[in-house]
Every structure is written in C-alpha cells, then in structure tokens.
C-alpha cells in the first residue's frame, strides 16, 4: 500500500502505539521529557475540549462529523502524550487530565481561546493545524522513540486537519461579504496568540534532539500561512503578539472555566473508576 493510500489511523509497524501500549512501556521518560510531553498533550487536550463543544452545533451535519473527528484525533494524541508523561511520575493520563490544577497545565493560550463563531474556530484551527503539522513532521525524528512514534501517527491525522482548515479559510474568505468579514475578524482575534507557539523555553535546551525547538518551526509555518492567505486574498493580521506563558503555567482567563467543566465529575468522585 502506498503512503498516499494509507489510512490516517491505520496502525503500521513503528507507530502502532496506543495509550494502553504506552502505559505498559518498561522505560520511564526523564522528568524533562515528561514535561515536554505535557506541553503537547495539554495543547491537544484543551483543543479537543474546545472542539467537542461544536458537536451538535455545527453549521452543517458534515461539519459536526468533521469537527468531531478532529476533536477525536486530538483526544487520541493527548492520551498518548499524557500517558507517556505520566510514566515518569507513576500517574495515569486521567490523573494528569483531571487532577492537576490550572498552574500545572502547560497548554498555550491559543488553544484556550473561545470558539466564537465558525470563522473564529476555523482561524484557530488554521493556525493550530499548520503549527502541529510542522511540529509533528519534525518530531518523528526525535531521538526519543516514544515521542517519535506518537508524532508519526499524529502527523498523518493533522494533515487532514490542515486540509480542512485551509479549505474553509479559502471558502470563508472568498464566499460572501459576510463570511469574508467574519474570517478577517477571526484571524485578527487569533493572531496575538501565534507568537507563543514559536517561543523557545529553557526546557528545549535541556532536551537537545529529543524535542523540536519551537523557534525553528517559524519560517516554514510563515511560508505555509502566506501561501494560503495569498490564495484567499487575505492580509496577515497586523496585531501585536500577546505575552504568553502557558508553558510556565501562566494561562489565559479561559482555562479555569475549561478545567472546571472538564474535571467536575472526576473530582466529585475522587478515586472512582469509570
């Protein structure tokens, strides 16, 4: 089977890892590796939580399916990364997702941003998908085999997310006057949070070729963005970048509410299994 025909979720040698398999690994990641896995896991988890809201509210049934699918992929990535991180501290994916407090989360502000209207969600998806695709395309070469395997599976799925967001960016930008106005507004609201994605952090110095240096992804991300915006006849939003801090546990005001909803039931019955 050629690579082009391979299903995004097909399990192949080298990337057959499921969260359940990762939980059984003999090796434990070093603390720094686990911290890095939290970055990626938390981004995916919070994004999935946001996207999950759309299911049953999308503009068209096909989009209920599409956004649901993207959320489902992100949950899958989150489970793998969090399971791996948890191996360092004898914690499960659920211990990490449901029983950490806000400052212990490592998500970036971008994924915490509200869904807004469909255009704002698409703008956020456009940035996230292009960023994650660049990131996972490089992480497949990580010297940590587990991170590389998770990335190998994720990159195939994120490729579809990229396609979905680009197709919609073009349609909204060049559809009607209203959709164009909304797409421009969505990009403008999203762009302040782009810079944080590419900000380096002392942790990556420590990790060497295990992690991908965020700043090293910027130029290819910018090129990919420019190609789409040119085709859509859109300008790069001229807005100042916001100070981030998610990787240090300094979050947007939105995260507290997201976690309140995410964690409520698990915390109501601590120690219960579901």
Partner 1 sequence: MTTTAIDAGSRVDEDTAGEQLFNELIAQDSRIEPRDWMPADYRKALTRQISQHAHSEIIGMQPEANWITRAPSLKRKAVLMAKVQDEAGHGLYLYSAAETLGTPRDKMTEDLIAGKARYSSIFNYPVRTWADIGAIGWLVDGAAICNQVPLCRASYGPYGRAMVRVCKEESFHQRQGFEILLELANGTPEQRAMAQDAVNRWYAPSLMMFGPPDEDSPNSQKSMEWKIKRFSNDELRSRFVGMMVEQVKVLGLELPDAEIRYNDETGRWEHGPLDWNEFKEVLAGRGPCNAQRMERRREAHEDGAWVREAAAAYAEKQAAKYAQAA
C-alpha 203/C-alpha 40 separation (Å) is 13
Q: In terms of C-beta distances under 8 Å and separation of at least 24 residues, what long-range contacts does 21-26 make, across chains too?
A: 22/80, 22/83, 22/84, 22/87, 22/146, 22/150, 23/83, 23/86, 23/87, 23/92, 23/93, 25/84, 25/87, 25/146
Contact 189, 113 (CB under 8 A): yes
The minimum distance between CB 183 and partner 1, in angstroms, equals 9
- Count of helix runs (H) and strand runs (E) in the chain: 11, 0
Q: Can you tell me the distance from the alpha carbon of 49 to that of 189, in angstroms, rounded to the nearest whole number?
A: 19
Q: Shortest distance, CB of residue 81 to partner 1, whole angstroms?
A: 11
Closer residue to partner 1 in complex, CB, 181/208: 181
If the CB atoms of residues 184 and 207 are measured against partner 1, the closer one turns out to be: 184
- From the list 35, 38, 49, 144, which residue makes contact with partner 1 (rule: CB under 8 A)? 49
Residue 160 interacting with partner 1 (CB under 8 A): no
* 265 makes contact with partner 1 (CB under 8 A): yes
Identify the CA nearest to 128 among candidates 175, 67, 53, 62: 67
53 near partner 1, rule: CB under 8 A: yes
Between 153 and 201, CB nearer to partner 1: 153
Near partner 1 in 201-260, by CB under 8 A: none
Applying CB under 8 A, the residues found at the interface with partner 1 are: 19, 45, 48-49, 52-53, 55-65, 68-69, 71-72, 75-76, 78-79, 82, 93-94, 97-98, 117-118, 170-172, 174-176, 178-179, 182, 261-262, 264-266, 269, 271-274
């Amino acid at each position: 089977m050629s690579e082009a025909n391979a299903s995004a979720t097909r399990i192949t040698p080298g990337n057959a890892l499921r969260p359940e398999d990762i939980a059984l690994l003999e090796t434990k990641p070093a603390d720094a590796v686990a911290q890095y896995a939290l970055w990626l896991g938390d981004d995916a988890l919070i994004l999935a939580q946001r996207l999950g809201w759309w299911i049953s509210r999308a503009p068209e049934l096909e989009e209920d399916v599409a956004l649901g699918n993207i959320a489902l992929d992100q949950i899958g990535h989150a489970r793998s990364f969090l399971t791996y991180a948890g191996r360092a501290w004898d914690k499960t994916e659920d211990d990490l997702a449901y029983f950490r407090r806000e400052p212990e989360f490592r998500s970036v502000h971008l994924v915490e941003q509200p869904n807004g209207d469909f255009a704002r969600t698409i703008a956020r998806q456009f940035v996230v998908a292009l960023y994650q695709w660049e990131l996972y395309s490089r992480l497949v070469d990580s010297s940590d085999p587990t991170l590389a395997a998770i990335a190998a599976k994720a990159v195939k799925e994120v490729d579809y997310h990229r396609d979905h967001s680009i197709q919609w960016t073009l349609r909204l930008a060049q559809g009607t006057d209203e959709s164009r106005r909304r797409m421009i507004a969505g990009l403008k609201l999203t762009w302040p949070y782009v810079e944080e994605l590419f900000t380096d952090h002392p942790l990556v110095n420590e990790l060497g070729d295990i992690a991908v240096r965020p700043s090293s992804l910027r130029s290819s991300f910018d090129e990919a963005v420019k190609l789409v915006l040119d085709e859509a006849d859109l300008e790069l939003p001229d807005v100042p970048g916001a100070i981030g801090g998610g990787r240090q546990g300094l979050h947007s005001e939105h995260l507290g509410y997201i976690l309140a909803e995410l964690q409520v039931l698990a915390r109501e019955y601590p120690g219960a299994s579901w």
